[in-house]
A and B are shown apart, each in its own frame.
Chain A
């Protein structure tokens, strides 16, 4: 005879325990470099090359990196680099949003001869190794006076971020039914007002996601600032490496501290717009 069915409890089996162990191992393995960097950033100059876990932690390194003392020590103005990084990347993201949103809308809404090719070409900018274009760019920048300027950096980083923004937002606009804007047209609104009133608010999560990703990509870029800037517009990525021997000595503890500081702005940005991001990801996944 059949019996009442009781709520089940997950049983421990050899397989499930093994799978859990594997996960724990992977977790430790992937987190270890980050943990090591945090430890390193808290060590003094004398302890920086030891591999002991026991040491007397200090927060002095962060102060050193950000202050004149660090600059004197290593000839790197890290605080200045932080500011120009924010300016460069913020500017690049702003430019790519201003131009990229309308571009993505057009690309998502209208098909015309070669529209797919154009989109692919844009994406292929992301495939091309930066080193390939950086030398001619160096020459051009030198000739035009864009070398080592914020404008120059915004322009070149925008090349990195724009395709990203257009590609992400295009799929958001495609997922949005065109009939929503058509309804607005018949309600008596112009195409521009239909776009602003109907389409734009609905892709806000997509804009947030695209902006964040673009910012991170721009922030992490190394090759362009390395070649196209000197001291005025140089960025965090380049500045961090200078602690490894700019002034003759390698300061691993300062490098780690600088890298941690350098990782903060994108992290803070991600936390602030996380709300939009999660909604955005699910919004894009489910076709309305």
Chain B
């Protein structure tokens, strides 16, 4: 295990930028997630660390050792490719044994090899496939073999490129939980690339958000969620997407532009905004609570009334599109006491959950100004009936 330092790395493919001036620092034993849409430079980041692409500027260091000019096979990193990159002419067993037989990852007797392979294939649920060839496997099985080829060997840094993307929903959930457990129980330095924000929030000790080859934000899941650096990060996390409302500063309040003055929140402390200045308010659908008609909003809460325009069932939850004046707010509620379309509903939002971003055209991403105050502590951890161990 080791630390990983990426300093000012720029990698271009001809004129196309893969990543630009990227700085990341991954701690010893940290499970670090890189999140971004396709084309954000996630895979390039991994390949730059592995030495599989030539970097144009900057440097990569593992355990303090500068890797400039070091061949991939001398870097002691393991990587799971999104394309699996399994050797088609070799069986699953031979694929898994390949890193153990190269002599550069340690020396293993036949029995050692078999023991390691047995262990990792049992964890991944592929131990019945050892004698098959990759062409005889489903995509989900191939992906697990690719993951196995990485986990079977020791490495200073593990690089994982969308290792769950081709699994069906059920298997993905199970494997994600498996990885979570693996990450918690072992002390591995891992750089994990994904476009799935749920995977990122779940697995990452810290998360880096990339866009167009540039780093947008680094932080713990909590920080990324509570204090998104800009509207891009805010929109990238959460389903349904965060609500963004245009607002104007008026007499110490941020007044929603379209909602006929119904949405008005005090300017968050520490934010210096001039009267008349335009901003955008961000409110996550899950931070909007449905209240009874006579419930008074708790102190520090925004209360608005709107009419349900559309109710869409999403399993146990119902997604409600609520019209407040001529602004639409998306929220989710449990199907057990959901409103019907056409109902008037009262909504409460904790002011600590209102984010303030700079004003911008629709579709344009703007930086965060404040709000969405990080809580002192996590909202009450539910008391358990007991603790194991």
Contacts and interface: CB of A to CB of B under 8 A. Distances in A.
Contact of A182 (B50, B103, B104): B50
B73 A190 contact: yes
Interface in B354-384: none
Given A179-B81, A288-B88, A187 B98 contact: yes
Nearest to A204: B89
Contacts of A183: 79, 81, 85-87, 149
Contact of B102 (A182, A189, A191, A202): A189
Q: Which of B47, B77, B87 has the most CB of A within 10 A?
A: B87
Contacts of A202: 88-89
Contacts of A288: 88
Given A179-B81, A182-B81, A183-B79, A188 B73 contact: yes
Nearest to A178: B52
Contacts, number: 61
Which secondary structure dominates where chain A touches chain B? helix
A261 to B, nearest CB: 39
- Give chain B's interface residue range (CB within 8 Å of chain A): 20 to 34
A247 interface: no
B107 to A, nearest CB: 11
**In which size bucket is the chain A interface?**
10 to 19
Contacts of B66: none
A110 B123 CA distance: 39
A187 to B, nearest CB: 4
A171 to B, nearest CB: 18
B157 to A, nearest CB: 11
B72 interface: yes
Interface string A173-212: 0000101101111111111000000100110000000000
Contact of B105 (A180, A185, A187): A187
Contacts of A190: 71, 73
Contacts of A177: 83, 85
B147 to A, nearest CB: 12
A202 B92 CA distance: 17
A206 to B, nearest CB: 14
| Interface-central residue, B51, B83, B85, B103, by most chain A CB under 10 Å | B85
A188 B103 contact: yes
Main secondary structure of the interface of B (DSSP, over half): loop
Contacts of B35: none
A186 B80 CA distance: 10
B27 interface: no
Nearest to B83: A179
Contacts of A188: 73, 99, 102-105
Contacts of B311: none
Interface string B1-13: 0000000000000
A185 B83 contact: no
A182 to B, nearest CB: 5
Given A179-B81, A183-B81, A189 B87 contact: no
B79 A186 contact: yes
B60 interface: no
Contact of B72 (A180, A185, A198, A201): A185
Contacts of B73: 185-190
Interface in B105-141: 105
B337 to A, nearest CB: 49
B257 interface: no
A281 B356 CA distance: 61
10 contacts: A179-B81, A183-B81, A185-B71, A185-B73, A186-B79, A187-B98, A189-B102, A191-B71, A202-B88, A202-B89
Q: Which 8 A-B pairs have the closest CB atoms?
A: A188-B104, A188-B102, A187-B99, A185-B72, A179-B85, A183-B85, A182-B52, A187-B98
Interface of A: 177, 179-180, 182-191, 198, 201-202, 288
